Homo-oligomer: A and B are copies of this chain.
Amino acid sequence: MTVSRTVELEGHIIDSGTMGHCFGVVMDMGGEFEVEEFEVGRHKHAETYCRMRVLAETESDLRAILHELNQQGATVADPRDATLEAAPEDGVVPVDFYSTTNHPTFVRVDGEWVEVEDVEMDCALVVENAGDERPRVYTKVLNAIEEGDLVVTGETGIRVEPPERPRNGSGSFGFMQGGVSSERPSASLIEEIADEMREVRENDGNVLVVCGPAIVHSGGRDALAELVRAGYIDALSAGNGFAVHDLERDLYGTSLGVDTESLEHPRKGHKHHIYTISEIARLGGIEEAVDEGVVDDGVMYECVRNDVPYVLAGSIRDDGPLPDTITDSIEAQNAIREQAQEADIVLMLATLLHSVAVGNCLPSTTKTVCVDINPATVTQLLDRGSAQAIGMVTDIGTFIPMLAEELLE
């Protein structure tokens, strides 16, 4: 071991697993560590401090190890400024650009630690006003990079703060370690979610709901419309399909051709889907259809009436699509990104595709609730590193009415 550097960690680093994880990182990457100082937090509220020297065979090995420790919240004892390099052309980042995590992140610019704005995974970091009094650092997705943007490269001068294990019970918004079960009692979980939503509302916060078409098929539509009307939903994100199903229900009383009350399949019912699209297209869009009184019920109707903004993103599976649907995926991502960054809590309801798209744009500190009948979907969504997530494997058609009852009673 020929090269070394000293790093420090501080906080509840033992019971959050951070300390052990850092030791593991060094060993797994072929390095060694020498603990120089270790002040264990001797009580529940006392923090632990560790200073250790990290050794490696080569400078590049060492850099790699330091980078990983950094991602765990370790700081190099003697910090330097982040390296910046200008983007060579639009949509192209410098070769060694730093790609972000979804945790709160700080970049050292001119000797100061600047907090990154709009934290989001897999982005580049762009620095504005470097050398100025008030430098800013924010994330940019690769396709949004403009020639000349000052992009953070390498691994120095970057500090990440992964979420800590909460000292006090965090209820069900757990520190997620993948454990989703379909065998957890639903009623009490729903109560907790309702409490959280009420709190967000009282604080003028923002509730984003991500909706899949199963909401309409399985009978959760009316309850969701009620929640929109009652002001519990501040933004809605969905695909073309969800909106068409919701509107079909209003225009024909069916969902994918099935009468959701009588369970009958009216003849030509399977054509209602495509007829709905054609009808709305004729009128020019959802808002126009509401204004003309053609649409007078349902989730989209309530969104229009109550000024709840919605984003409908297109997909190659879509029929139609509706005039309201954003067919370009980059444009749609940008609209979703804006929703995600503003949200305080996100309900992901019975849609994998759209939930992943929204989840990709969320900082790890935003609370998320994932409900799906498929355990694999819930697991995949919770796996994305949110620090405060609830997963429920249940029928969306019973979940939303129970949530509405809890909130509206």
Contact = CB atoms under 8 A, between A and B. Distances in A.
A360 B219 CA distance: 26
A251 interface: no
Interface string A297-321: 0000000000000000111111111
Contact of A35 (B42, B97, B118, B334): B42
Interface string A56-92: 0000000011011000000000000000000010011
A409 interface: no
A398 interface: yes
Contact of A171 (B35, B118, B192): B192
A108 B153 CA distance: 58
Contact of A393 (B23, B321, B373, B390): B373
Contacts of A19: 14-15, 19-20
B184 A330 contact: no
A385 B188 contact: no
Contacts of A229: none
Contact of A176 (B65, B88, B382): B382
Given A174-B389, A183-B214, A390-B173, A122 B316 contact: no
Interface in A366-395: 367, 373-376, 379, 382-391, 393-395
Contacts of A95: 278, 282
A170 B273 CA distance: 26
Contacts of A26: 44
Nearest to A390: B172
A192 B249 CA distance: 22
A357 B313 CA distance: 15
A175 interface: yes
Interface in A17-63: 17, 19-21, 23-29, 32-35, 38, 40-44, 50
Interface stretch (A126-134, A200-208, A257-265): A257-265
Contact of A360 (B121, B179, B183, B261): B121
A259 B51 CA distance: 32
A165 B24 contact: yes
A159 interface: no
A99 B275 contact: yes
Interface in A127-165: 141-144, 162-163, 165
Given A119-B363, A188-B262, A360-B317, A385 B142 contact: no
Interface in A254-287: 255-256, 258, 260-263, 267-268, 271, 273-275, 277-278, 281-282
A111 interface: no
A264 B178 CA distance: 17
A14 B17 CA distance: 8
A341 B118 CA distance: 6
Contacts of A263: 171-172, 184-185, 188-189, 192
Given A23-B15, A394-B373, A398-B395, A177 B174 contact: no
Contacts of A170: 388
B172 A67 contact: no
Given A182-B218, A330-B327, A353-B317, A281 B15 contact: no
Top 10 nearest A-B pairs (CB, nearest first) are A163-B387, A183-B217, A314-B329, A119-B363, A398-B398, A173-B388, A316-B357, A394-B395, A15-B20, A15-B23
23 contacts: A17-B17, A20-B165, A32-B43, A32-B44, A35-B40, A35-B41, A68-B267, A91-B281, A92-B278, A99-B274, A142-B277, A142-B281, A163-B388, A173-B196, A178-B179, A179-B379, A185-B218, A185-B397, A186-B398, A318-B329, A373-B395, A395-B398, A398-B402
Given A92-B282, A120-B362, 17 more contacts: A15-B20, A17-B20, A19-B20, A25-B267, A103-B363, A173-B389, A174-B390, A176-B389, A182-B218, A182-B373, A183-B217, A183-B218, A185-B217, A185-B260, A187-B219, A192-B263, A379-B379
